[in-house]
Amino acid sequence: MKLYKKGDDSSYTLGVFPTIELLEHKPDIVKRVVVHSSIEENRGYPKIKELCALHHIPIDVHYATINKLSPKSNCYAIGVFKTFYEPLQKGNHIVLVNPMDMGNMGTIMRTMLGFGYQDLAIIRPAVDIFNPHVVRSSMGALFSLRIHYYESIDEYLKEFGDHQCYPFMLKGAKNIHQVKPVTPHSLIFGNESSGLDDIYMTYGQSVFIPHTNAIDSLNLAQSVGIGLFHFSQDAFNKQEVLR
């Protein structure tokens, strides 16, 4: 088995937990599971065996493959899967314009899932979501999201032009604390270093997150987390009432 390269039709998880997430949420795309010879000591192994048996997925014990593909010594399982893309559904979206950092991407995926957002639009050029480092940093959240790449923001808006757009910008016209979310909406965030171009001021209601002058800007993943928290409050408050 070879190391993953961008554009490959297969990728793999690195670790027991993301492998379990893969088996639970996308068993139909799993080709096989490779495990370390000492995985019997790991408490997640019974779950992997159970899920593989349920879905008739082969398990190979292959120490050399684990060592070749994993940069860390504590990796006990690798799930080999076919790369996949799903159309986005109507509802609230996160839109990332030219994201390039693998760690940020994985963190954003996990944060989205935590706040109930399952649709992610990515405007190219952008990081490869199937890079094993992205898969690992998402802790398997990748397998619970619908993700689609677009060549431009205009291509995205042709499909979801009925969404209220909220571009997050340092020059944003409105403080996030003064924004009352409208649904369905698209929260739009720019590249880690350059943010969004000024043209995005014309897309819907631009928003800024207030912070002190001690920093130039917030990290992309932090900004997305703050945006998700603010825009999901109504939904979570309704859930609390229902409880």
Expressed as residue numbers, the domain containing 37 is 10-82
Among residues 63, 82, 101, which one ends one of the domains?
82
Q: 49 in helix, strand or coil?
A: helix
Q: Contacts by 235-243 with C-beta closer than 8 Å and gap 24+?
A: 235/116, 236/116
Per-residue model confidence as pLDDT tens digits over 135-162: 999 999 999 999 999 999 999 999 999 9
Query: 105 with 186, same domain?
Result: yes
The answer to whether residue 2 sits within a structural domain is: no
Total of domains in the chain: 2
The answer to whether residue 3 sits within a structural domain is: no
Per-residue model confidence as pLDDT tens digits over 177-191: 999 999 999 999 999
The answer to whether residue 56 sits within a structural domain is: yes
Which helix H or strand E contains 147, and what residues bound it? strand 146-150
Which two tokens mark 137?
Answer: 């940093």
Taking residue 181's Cβ as centre, other Cβ atoms within 10 Å add up to: 15
Among residues 82, 112, 132, which one ends one of the domains?
82
Cα separations in angstroms, 42 against 13, 47, 62, 74: 16, 10, 16, 10
The answer to whether residue 15 sits within a structural domain is: yes
Per-residue model confidence as pLDDT tens digits over 7-61: 999 999 999 999 999 999 999 999 999 999 889 889 999 999 999 999 999 999 9
- Paired residues of 33 in beta bridges: 59, 79
pLDDT of residue 243: 47
Query: 55 with 103, same domain?
Result: no
